[in-house]
Protein backbone atom coordinates (compact mmCIF):
# COMPACT_ATOMS: atom_id res chain seq x y z
CA UNK A 1 0.00 0.00 0.00
CA UNK A 2 1.20 3.48 -0.71
CA UNK A 3 0.93 6.46 1.61
CA UNK A 4 -2.33 7.76 0.13
CA UNK A 5 -4.04 4.37 0.50
CA UNK A 6 -2.99 4.21 4.15
CA UNK A 7 -4.31 7.72 4.87
CA UNK A 8 -7.60 7.35 2.97
CA UNK A 9 -8.72 3.73 3.03
CA UNK A 10 -11.56 2.74 0.69
CA UNK A 11 -14.76 1.94 2.53
CA UNK A 12 -16.96 -0.92 1.55
CA UNK A 13 -20.37 -0.34 -0.03
CA UNK A 14 -22.17 -1.58 3.06
CA UNK A 15 -20.38 0.98 5.25
CA UNK A 16 -21.34 3.74 2.84
CA UNK A 17 -24.97 2.56 2.79
CA UNK A 18 -25.08 2.49 6.58
CA UNK A 19 -23.74 6.06 6.65
CA UNK A 20 -26.42 7.24 4.24
CA UNK A 21 -29.14 5.48 6.23
CA UNK A 22 -27.99 6.90 9.57
CA UNK A 23 -27.53 10.37 8.06
CA UNK A 24 -31.03 10.24 6.63
CA UNK A 25 -32.48 9.27 10.00
CA UNK A 26 -30.61 12.07 11.77
CA UNK A 27 -31.69 14.60 9.13
CA UNK A 28 -35.32 13.53 9.39
CA UNK A 29 -35.21 13.72 13.18
CA UNK A 30 -33.59 17.17 13.07
CA UNK A 31 -36.20 18.42 10.57
CA UNK A 32 -39.01 17.20 12.77
CA UNK A 33 -37.50 18.64 15.93
CA UNK A 34 -36.91 22.08 14.45
CA UNK A 35 -40.25 22.26 12.64
CA UNK A 36 -42.69 24.77 14.09
CA UNK A 37 -45.31 22.32 15.36
CA UNK A 38 -46.89 21.81 18.74
CA UNK A 39 -45.42 19.03 20.91
CA UNK A 40 -48.36 16.65 20.48
CA UNK A 41 -48.18 16.81 16.67
CA UNK A 42 -44.41 16.51 16.74
CA UNK A 43 -44.56 13.40 18.92
CA UNK A 44 -47.21 11.92 16.63
CA UNK A 45 -45.03 12.63 13.55
CA UNK A 46 -41.99 11.14 15.28
CA UNK A 47 -43.96 8.05 16.24
CA UNK A 48 -45.20 7.68 12.66
CA UNK A 49 -41.69 8.08 11.23
CA UNK A 50 -40.25 5.59 13.71
CA UNK A 51 -42.97 3.12 12.69
CA UNK A 52 -42.11 3.64 9.01
CA UNK A 53 -38.40 3.15 9.68
CA UNK A 54 -39.13 0.01 11.71
CA UNK A 55 -41.27 -1.41 8.91
CA UNK A 56 -38.61 -0.61 6.31
CA UNK A 57 -35.93 -2.20 8.51
CA UNK A 58 -38.01 -5.37 8.78
CA UNK A 59 -38.42 -5.46 4.98
CA UNK A 60 -34.68 -5.04 4.47
CA UNK A 61 -33.99 -7.76 7.04
CA UNK A 62 -36.36 -10.12 5.21
CA UNK A 63 -34.66 -9.41 1.88
CA UNK A 64 -31.22 -9.94 3.41
CA UNK A 65 -32.38 -13.22 4.95
CA UNK A 66 -33.75 -14.42 1.62
CA UNK A 67 -30.57 -13.48 -0.22
CA UNK A 68 -28.40 -15.16 2.42
CA UNK A 69 -30.49 -18.33 2.16
CA UNK A 70 -30.18 -18.32 -1.64
CA UNK A 71 -26.44 -17.75 -1.38
CA UNK A 72 -26.06 -20.62 1.10
CA UNK A 73 -27.98 -22.94 -1.23
CA UNK A 74 -25.86 -21.87 -4.20
CA UNK A 75 -22.63 -22.40 -2.29
CA UNK A 76 -23.83 -25.80 -1.11
CA UNK A 77 -24.74 -26.84 -4.66
CA UNK A 78 -21.45 -25.60 -6.12
CA UNK A 79 -19.47 -27.32 -3.38
CA UNK A 80 -21.29 -30.58 -4.04
CA UNK A 81 -20.62 -30.26 -7.79
CA UNK A 82 -16.93 -29.60 -7.19
CA UNK A 83 -16.68 -32.59 -4.84
CA UNK A 84 -18.26 -34.84 -7.48
CA UNK A 85 -15.89 -33.54 -10.16
CA UNK A 86 -12.84 -34.04 -7.94
CA UNK A 87 -13.97 -37.55 -7.01
CA UNK A 88 -14.53 -38.46 -10.66
CA UNK A 89 -11.10 -37.09 -11.58
CA UNK A 90 -9.51 -39.07 -8.77
CA UNK A 91 -11.20 -42.25 -9.97
CA UNK A 92 -10.03 -41.60 -13.54
CA UNK A 93 -6.44 -41.10 -12.36
CA UNK A 94 -6.56 -44.26 -10.24
CA UNK A 95 -7.86 -46.26 -13.23
CA UNK A 96 -5.05 -44.88 -15.39
CA UNK A 97 -2.46 -45.79 -12.74
CA UNK A 98 -3.83 -49.32 -12.42
CA UNK A 99 -3.74 -49.80 -16.19
CA UNK A 100 -0.22 -48.42 -16.45
CA UNK A 101 0.92 -50.68 -13.59
CA UNK A 102 -0.56 -53.72 -15.31
CA UNK A 103 1.13 -52.75 -18.60
CA UNK A 104 4.48 -52.32 -16.86
CA UNK A 105 4.08 -55.69 -15.10
CA UNK A 106 3.29 -57.38 -18.44
CA UNK A 107 6.29 -55.76 -20.11
CA UNK A 108 8.54 -56.78 -17.21
CA UNK A 109 7.31 -60.38 -17.46
CA UNK A 110 7.97 -60.42 -21.21
CA UNK A 111 11.42 -58.91 -20.73
CA UNK A 112 12.24 -61.49 -18.05
CA UNK A 113 11.20 -64.32 -20.38
CA UNK A 114 13.27 -62.88 -23.23
CA UNK A 115 16.32 -62.47 -20.98
CA UNK A 116 15.95 -66.03 -19.71
CA UNK A 117 15.63 -67.33 -23.26
CA UNK A 118 18.63 -65.31 -24.44
CA UNK A 119 20.60 -66.56 -21.45
CA UNK A 120 19.77 -70.18 -22.30
CA UNK A 121 20.76 -69.59 -25.92
CA UNK A 122 24.03 -67.99 -24.86
CA UNK A 123 24.68 -70.85 -22.46
CA UNK A 124 24.12 -73.40 -25.22
CA UNK A 125 26.28 -71.42 -27.65
CA UNK A 126 29.07 -71.19 -25.08
CA UNK A 127 28.87 -74.92 -24.34
CA UNK A 128 29.06 -75.74 -28.06
CA UNK A 129 31.97 -73.35 -28.48
CA UNK A 130 33.85 -74.94 -25.58
CA UNK A 131 33.16 -78.46 -26.88
CA UNK A 132 34.34 -77.58 -30.38
CA UNK A 133 37.57 -75.96 -29.15
CA UNK A 134 38.50 -78.75 -26.78
CA UNK A 135 38.46 -81.43 -29.48
pLDDT in tens, 20-33: 888 888 887 777 67
CA–CA dist 22, 31 (Å, integer)? 14
Among candidates 53, 13, 15, 17, which has minimal Cα distance to 32?
Answer: 53
* Per-residue model confidence as pLDDT tens digits over 78-97: 999 999 999 999 999 999 99
* Per-residue model confidence as pLDDT tens digits over 49-66: 888 888 888 898 889 999
Instruction: Identify the pLDDT of residue 21.
Output: 82
Q: Give the mean pLDDT of 66-83.
A: 92
| Whether 42 contacts 32, CB under 8 Å | yes
CA–CA dist 110, 117 (Å, integer)? 11
Instruction: Identify the pLDDT of residue 8.
Output: 59
Q: Check whether 129 has a pLDDT greater than 90.
A: no
Q: Give the mean pLDDT of 113-125.
A: 87
pTM here is: 0.43
Amino acid sequence: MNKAEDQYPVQSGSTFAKGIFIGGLLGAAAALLFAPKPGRELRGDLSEKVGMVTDRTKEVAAVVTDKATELAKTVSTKTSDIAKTVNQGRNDVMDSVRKASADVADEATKATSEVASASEDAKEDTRKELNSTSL
